[in-house]
Amino acid sequence: GNSVTQMEGPVTLSEEAFLTINCTYTATGYPSLFWYVQYPGEGLQLLLKATKADDKGSNKGFEATYRKETTSFHLEKGSVQVSDSAVYFCALRGRAAGNKLTFGGGTRVLVKP
């Protein structure tokens, strides 16, 4: 079945540091890949997505590239802010799995001033 593995946190950074969160997946067929963010006490918000190989999703300074050869979708941001402190989830949605989202375990990011 489908699965997503992402690096465990917490990741603690200083403001303006570079952020990378690794995400790899196992899936049948050609899934769509997503990064969601969850702020304290809130639901999930879509951060970015990529629907086919070599697509790059980007939003709010975050980027991730769909790498089919390495089955990866790593999230990066060049200069983090305190407001980026949250839990980040990598997820996939595959046609073979009936369109449900399969999530990674989440990575907590804490950005200190």
Partner 1 sequence: KAGVTQTPRYLIKTRGQQVTLSCSPISGHRSVSWYQQTPGQGLQFLFEYFSETQRNKGNFPGRFSGRQFSNSRSEMNVSTLELGDSALYLCASSQAGTVDEKLFFGSGTQLSVL
Tokens matching residue 7: 């690096």
What would the DSSP string read from start to end of 85-104? -EEEEEEEE-GGGTT-EEE-
Residue 70, both tokens: 């390495």
Which range, of 39-47, 57-65, 68-76, 78-86, touches partner 1 by CB under 8 A? 39-47
Segment contacting partner 1 by CB under 8 A, of 9-17, 43-51, 62-70, 77-85: 43-51
Contacts of 66 (CB under 8 A, 6+ apart): 33, 50, 51, 52, 53, 54, 55, 56, 57, 73
Q: Which of 102, 107, 109, 111 binds partner 1 (CB under 8 A)?
A: 102
Contact (Cβ atoms closer than 8 angstroms) between residue 76 and residue 67: no
List 51, 79, 81, 83, residue binding partner 1 (CB under 8 A): 51
40 binds partner 1 (CB under 8 A): no
Beta carbon of residue 5, minimum distance to partner 1 (angstroms, whole number)? 11
Q: Which of 20, 45, 79, 83 binds partner 1 (CB under 8 A)?
A: 45
Residue 69 within binding range of partner 1, rule CB under 8 A: no
